């Protein structure tokens, strides 16, 4: 009796430790239901929460891989603006949605390659590199448009705008793309050698290098994947709004993406992080936004509440982790 109780307790603890993001999400969900019952649970509302967060959700998937390697990408917001502009420019010139997507994703890969090269080859901390590229991309984008933006103006514009604004069996296309990409990143992280190398680099980069892994290549690819995911997000954003503004598009997205990742249980020191956690982290942030909207709270306070939730979420993880830390140094 005693034993089974103890066993049960242990697995609960482990569950809590591995699913802290899910727990945070469920708590907030329940709180939202209690406060705003019907309005919140309304199918339309739920779907709009998902839709509004697909962009950040997709960016966060890449951010997660990057942070697992003990890296960081502050440039994702500026990159989103720059990549969106590239995509729209190609769309307006070629009239081809496919070409626009391909050009945008290619550009995203190149941006990622640049960051990755500085981080891996010149061993400059990713925080510094992306602090720089964040300013560079934004500034170049603003210069190219003289502070303005690009609107989808071609004959295909309606078709393009339809991508983000239509649904399949009631589910918005961006949400479907988010789910598919989540699955792809999950497979990459857990079921491929590359994925295991990503975790290994984050956990002990030196040992990973000494075991014969090409660590530089792992790092470069992580940033390339990150850039490509931002590219997809930027096209969805461009499609949703029909335009991209060089000054305001993607502004502060890096903060939301990092917050979603961290709430999702990814360790800023590297080596730890899950796709499911990151998705629930994104949704947790999304529900906070939604709830505050529904409550009619002043939008100026949204940042304060989000900030507090980030700190509380990380404190919760810390509490779970320290409880079940095993020390075995025989």
Partner 1 sequence: METILQMKGIKKSFGHNTVLRDVDLTIHRGSIHALLGENGTGKSTLMNILTGLIPDDGGEIVLTKGVKITFIHQELSLVNDLTVYENLFLGHEIIKHGFMDRKTMIQQSKAALNRIGVRLDPAALVKDLGPSEKQIVEITRALLQNNDLIIMDEPTSSLTDVEIDHLFEVMKQLSQQGISIIFISHKLQEVLKVCDEYTVMRDGRVVLDGQLTKDVSEDQLIEAMVGKKLNAMNKRERLIKTDDVLALRDLSKQDEFEDINLHIRKGEIVGITGLLGDGKSNLFATVAGANYPYQGQIVVDGKVTNMKNTAKAVARGISYLPKNRKENGIIPGLSINDNLLLTILRHLSKGGILSNDRQRLAFQKYSKVFNIKYGQRRDHITTLSGGNQQKVILARALSTNPRIVILDNPTQGVDIGARSEIYEEIEQLSRQGVSFVVLSNEFNEINHICDRVYVMCRGKIVKEMLHQELDEEAVLRYAMGSASEKVD
Which of the residues 207 through 226 are near partner 1 (CB under 8 A)? Answer: 207-214, 216-217
Q: Which of 18, 92, 186, 272 binds partner 1 (CB under 8 A)?
A: 272
Question: Should residue 194 be labelled a site residue for partner 1 when binding is judged by CB under 8 A?
Answer: yes
Question: Should residue 192 be labelled a site residue for partner 1 when binding is judged by CB under 8 A?
Answer: yes
Q: Which of 4, 123, 322, 329 binds partner 1 (CB under 8 A)?
A: 329
Question: Should residue 204 be labelled a site residue for partner 1 when binding is judged by CB under 8 A?
Answer: yes
Question: Should residue 200 be labelled a site residue for partner 1 when binding is judged by CB under 8 A?
Answer: yes
Binding mask 232-271 for partner 1 (x = CB under 8 A): --------------------------------------xx
CB of 128 to partner 1, least distance (A): 24
Return the number of the residue (143 or 269) whose C-beta is nearest partner 1.
Answer: 269
CB burial of 189-208 (b: ≥16 within 10 Å; e: otherwise) equals beeeeebebbbbbbbebeeb
Cα–Cα distance list, 289 to 63, 199, 221, 263, 270 (Å): 21, 31, 33, 15, 28
CB of 269 to partner 1, least distance (A): 10
SS3 167: strand
Question: Should residue 180 be labelled a site residue for partner 1 when binding is judged by CB under 8 A?
Answer: no
Long-range contacts from 197-202, C-beta under 8 angstroms, 24+ separation:
198/65, 198/68, 198/69, 198/222, 199/68, 199/271, 199/272, 201/69, 201/70, 201/270, 202/67, 202/68, 202/69, 202/70, 202/267, 202/269, 202/270, 202/271, 202/272
Return the number of the residue (146 or 329) whose C-beta is nearest partner 1.
Answer: 329
How far, in Å, CA of 116 to CA of 113, rounded?
5
Question: Should residue 4 be labelled a site residue for partner 1 when binding is judged by CB under 8 A?
Answer: no
Binding mask 138-177 for partner 1 (x = CB under 8 A): ----------------------------------------
How far, in Å, CA of 137 to CA of 124, rounded?
18
* Bridge partners, 171 (sequence order): 168
Sites of contact with partner 1 (CB under 8 A): 187, 191-194, 196-197, 199-200, 202-204, 206-214, 216-217, 270-272, 326-330
């Amino acid at each position: 009796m005693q034993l089974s109780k103890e066993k049960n307790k242990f697995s609960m603890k482990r569950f809590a430790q591995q699913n802290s993001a899910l727990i945070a999400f469920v708590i907030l969900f329940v709180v939202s239901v209690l406060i705003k019952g019907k309005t919140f649970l309304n199918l339309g509302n739920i779907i709009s929460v998902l839709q509004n967060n697909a962009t950040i959700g997709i960016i966060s998937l890449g951010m997660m891989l990057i942070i697992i390697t003990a890296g960081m990408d502050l440039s994702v917001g500026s990159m989103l603006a720059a990549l969106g502009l590239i995509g729209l420019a190609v769309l307006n010139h070629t009239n081809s949605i496919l070409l626009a997507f391909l050009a945008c994703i290619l550009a995203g890969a190149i941006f990622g390659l640049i960051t990755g090269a500085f981080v891996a080859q010149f061993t400059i901390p990713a925080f510094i590199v992306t602090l720089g590229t964040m300013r560079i991309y934004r500034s170049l984008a603003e210069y190219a448009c003289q502070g303005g933006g690009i609107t989808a103006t071609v004959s295909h514009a309606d078709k393009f705008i339809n991508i983000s604004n239509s649904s399949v069996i009631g589910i918005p296309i961006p949400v479907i793309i988010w789910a598919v990409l989540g699955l792809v990143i999950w497979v990459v992280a857990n079921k491929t050698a590359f994925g295991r190398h990503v975790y290994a680099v984050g956990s002990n980069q030196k040992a990973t290098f000494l075991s014969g892994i090409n660590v530089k290549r792992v790092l470069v690819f992580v940033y390339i994947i990150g850039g490509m995911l931002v590219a997809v997000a930027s096209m969805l954003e461009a499609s949703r709004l029909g335009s991209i503004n060089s000054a305001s598009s993607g502004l502060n997205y890096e903060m939301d993406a990092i917050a979603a990742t961290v709430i999702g249980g990814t360790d800023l020191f590297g080596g730890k992080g899950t796709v499911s956690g990151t998705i629930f982290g994104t949704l947790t942030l999304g529900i906070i936004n939604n709830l505050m909207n529904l409550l009619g709270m002043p939008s100026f306070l949204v940042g304060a509440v989000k900030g507090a939730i980030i700190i509380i979420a990380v404190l919760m993880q810390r509490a779970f982790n320290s409880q079940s830390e095993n020390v075995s140094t025989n």
